[in-house]
Amino acid sequence: MNIGIANDLPLAVEAMRRAIALRPEHRVLWVAADGAQAVDFCIAQPPDVVLMDLIMPKFDGVEATRRIMARAPCSILIVTSSVGANAWRVYEAMSAGALDAVDTPTLADHRVADAAQPLLAKIDQIGRLLDKPAAYQQRPSAPLTRGDAPLIAIGASAGGPGALATILGNLPPDFSAPIVIVQHVDKAFAQGMAQWLDEQTLLTVRAAVSGDTPQPGQALLAATNDHLHLTRHGSLDYTREPADTPYRPSVDVFFHSVVEHWHGDAVGVLLTGMGRDGAIGLKAMRAKGYQTIAQDQATSAVYGMPKAAAALDAARLILPLGSIAGELTTIIKR
């Protein structure tokens, strides 16, 4: 993979160079010393992935990500001194289109290979996203019975945190449907993202744990690197299978489990994100008679997942982000 580095700290740049040098299939395409350079370099020499710091001169990592996604979209991995200490900025960068985040590796000579592994693992994961579509076979569906409050099943990836905040923030406090969200996010900051989303809405948002059952007026967020799914008893659980999908947690896995195990009505919503995850599952939801919605191109930070859904005719409605909460409210009132 061709890799761009955006970081103004020489020690951090050298640590990333050494990590990348451990993999002969990767090469550093360029190094930008500030956010403005990163934008210019992405336009002039588009990389496969940018390793983006959060704190830089001119444009910080959030603004640089936003401008890159607007002018020269590419995969962006936030690499910062401490993901935990900068969680709020990480969520802002992901809202702008960044895919993931990881701590900057260290330069300790006797531990270079060990220190490089988290960064290289994230780069490998992004490489799989670029090269592989989701492969998940539809399973037989259970009989559908209409319940009082449909389950709102939402999938999102790059740009998702901001899109989710917009939708949840625009739902009324008496919204009576249960909501389950699968956002491509590392478990290291899934709990923090749930807390951040909880602050954006009058509803309750928290991380989903095994054994939870979807409840009206509550949004549950997938919070591990395993796949969230509904069991035949209607409760939530996590599974490692399918193990080879590049998307973890997978939107397709959850959507298919809704088709198989949810015995009421449901609405599938697929938001901004890179790749194809969720498109096949949304198609299965539509085939079962559920309402399905995909975000439109104009308001998507990354028009990948909803584009794949549109190509499959998986979405009954294609809506701008600002209209989705209103449509969900209308569906619930009906």
As annotated, the active-site residues are 157, 184, 277
One-letter amino acid at 206 equals R
**Other Cβ atoms closer than 10 A to 211:** 10
CA 140/CA 232 separation, integer angstroms: 13
CA 23/CA 183 separation, integer angstroms: 29
HEC letters along the chain: CEEEEECCCHHHHHHHHHHHHCCCCCEEEEEECCHHHHHHHHHHCCCCEEEECCCCCCCCHHHHHHHHHHHCCCEEEEEECCCCCCHHHHHHHHHHCCCEEEECCCCCHHHHHHHHHHHHHHHHHHHHHHHCCCCCCCCCCCCCCCCCCCEEEEEECCCHHHHHHHHHHCCCCCCCCCEEEEECCCHHHHHHHHHHHHCCCCCEEEECCCCCCCCCCEEEECCCCCEEEECCCCCEEEECCCCCCCCCCCHHHHHHHHHHHCCCCEEEEECCECCCCCHHHHHHHHHCCCEEEEECCCCCCCECHHHHHHHCCCCCEEECHHHHHHHHHHHHHC
Partners of 318 in beta bridges:
294
CA 260/CA 297 separation, integer angstroms: 30
CA 252/CA 248 separation, integer angstroms: 10
- Residue 206 tokens read as 């928290």
